[in-house]
Amino acid sequence: MIRGLYTAAAGMVTQQRRHDTATQNIANLNTTGYKQVDSVSHAFPDVLISAMSGGTTKPVGRLNTGVFAEQSVSQYLQGDLIESGKSIDFALSTDLQVADPATGDNIAFDGSGKYVTPEGEVIYRPQAFFTVQDNEGNNLYTRNGSFSVSATGQVLSAGGFNVLDANGNPLVLTGPQDNLKVDGQGNLINTATGLPSGTKIGVSVITRPQELVRDGNGVFHADDIEAAEIRYANAGDNLQVRQGYLENSNVDPTQVTVDMNAAYRAYEANQKVIQFYDTSLQKTVNEVGRV
């Protein structure tokens, strides 16, 4: 009986985390560059149930003793691009492909941006991010291109971090902000000649985005640069920098609302189970024990 009590309690904790994840997504429906988070749940390890009869043991079957919310997974799918009209706003439009090592054809990723090989290996679609740097010199990655320019011409992210160029240096503007022109590859255009000035916005391509860690405020970092396979974008990558646009949140409001209600109902069901066990234990102590 006590085992069932613990199982129901574990279910309540898991559903609470699912509910918290869904409400976080809903709260960021209008956050620029926000990426939806999904909660992944797993069962506790199986235990073998056996019956003892006449000195022999007969297997009854396997039983899961609970569930737990193992991790939260970010969905890096492309959000809608919204025109802002500001010359210092940027968005990334990407369709990065990966060749299947067996056939050489481009991998057909599913709706969540992943592909499972026949051998069971999971391959994620590469993603592109603007590269920014914090005060400690750590590189961070964001899809929020709502930038600003300081009095000294430094380009800053929405979180106040330095935006980097393609050489890993802070991006500094020398001309008037109103005349800023950037082409689809992120090259700053010299307004006098109409040609690239030699400075390029630093866009990083991350081959294994599942290695990124969410820091909050729309930025991510990688604990292991090599494991994430991070590099700066080149001309062969299928991506475009859109000036005067911002990427909206990729949260699906209908789906997260369903997830939130499902988590609430499952939490309520586990709560009823605990109340049942509490009533049964009360009768065991106060009525059965009296006989």
Q: For residue range 22-34, what is the model confidence (pLDDT) as tens digits?
A: 999 999 999 999 9
Percentage of residues in the chain having pLDDT higher than 90: 44
* Helix, strand and coil in the chain, % to nearest 5: 25, 35, 40
Closest-CA residue to 135 (of 156, 153, 165): 156
Residue 257: its pLDDT value, please?
93
Question: Six-digit token pair at 82?
Answer: 């919204």
Closest-CA residue to 128 (of 244, 27, 234): 234
Helix (H) or strand (E) holding 112: none
Question: Could you tell me if 182 and 71 are in contact, meaning their C-beta atoms sit under 8 angstroms apart?
Answer: no
Between the two ends of the chain, the Cα-to-Cα distance in Å is: 21
Q: Looking at the predicted structure, is the pLDDT value of residue 163 above 60?
A: yes
Residue 140: its pLDDT value, please?
95
Residue 258: its pLDDT value, please?
94
What pTM was estimated for this model as a whole? Answer: 0.81
pLDDT band, residue 242 (cuts 50/70/90): very high
pLDDT in tens, 166-181: 999 999 987 666 678 9
Q: Which carries the bigger pLDDT value, residue 55 or residue 68?
A: 68
Closest-CA residue to 74 (of 139, 121, 28): 28
Residue 290: its pLDDT value, please?
62
pLDDT band, residue 83 (cuts 50/70/90): very high
Question: Six-digit token pair at 42?
Answer: 């797993």
Mean pLDDT of the region 125-138: 93
Whole-Å CA distances, 1 to 70, 129, 158, 271: 25, 51, 53, 15
Closest-CA residue to 265 (of 11, 73, 10): 11
Residue 55: its pLDDT value, please?
66
Question: Could you tell me if 11 and 17 are in contact, meaning their C-beta atoms sit under 8 angstroms apart?
Answer: no
pLDDT band, residue 68 (cuts 50/70/90): confident
